[in-house]
Amino acid sequence: MLRKITPNDRETYIALSEEFYSSDAVSHSIPVEFHKNSFDELMRSDEYIECFIFEHEGETAGYALIAKTFSPEAGGVVVWIEELYVREGFRGKGLGKAFFAYMEQNYNVSRYRLEVEPDNVRAKKLYSALGYKKLPYEQMIKGD
Q: Residues 57, 4: contact at Cβ < 8 Å?
A: no
pLDDT in tens, 83-134: 999 999 999 999 999 999 999 999 999 999 999 988 899 899 999 999 999 9
> Does some domain include residue 142?
no
Structural domain total, the chain:
1
Average pLDDT of the segment spanning 35-64? 96
Query: What CATH number did the domain enclosing 78 receive?
Result: 3.40.630.30
Query: What pLDDT was estimated at residue 137?
Result: 87
Q: How confident is the model at residue 143 (pLDDT cuts 50, 70, 90)?
A: confident
Residue 113 CA to residue 38 CA, distance in Å, equals 19
Is a pLDDT exceeding 90 seen at residue 37? yes
Q: Give me the residues paired with residue 86 across strands.
A: 62
pTM of the model: 0.91
Task: Note whether residue 88 is domain-resident.
Answer: yes
If pLDDT is split at 50, 70 and 90, which confidence band does 67 have? very high
Tell me which residue range forms the domain holding 78.
2-129
Q: Determine the pLDDT at residue 114.
A: 93
Decide if 67 contacts 101 (C-beta within 8 A): no
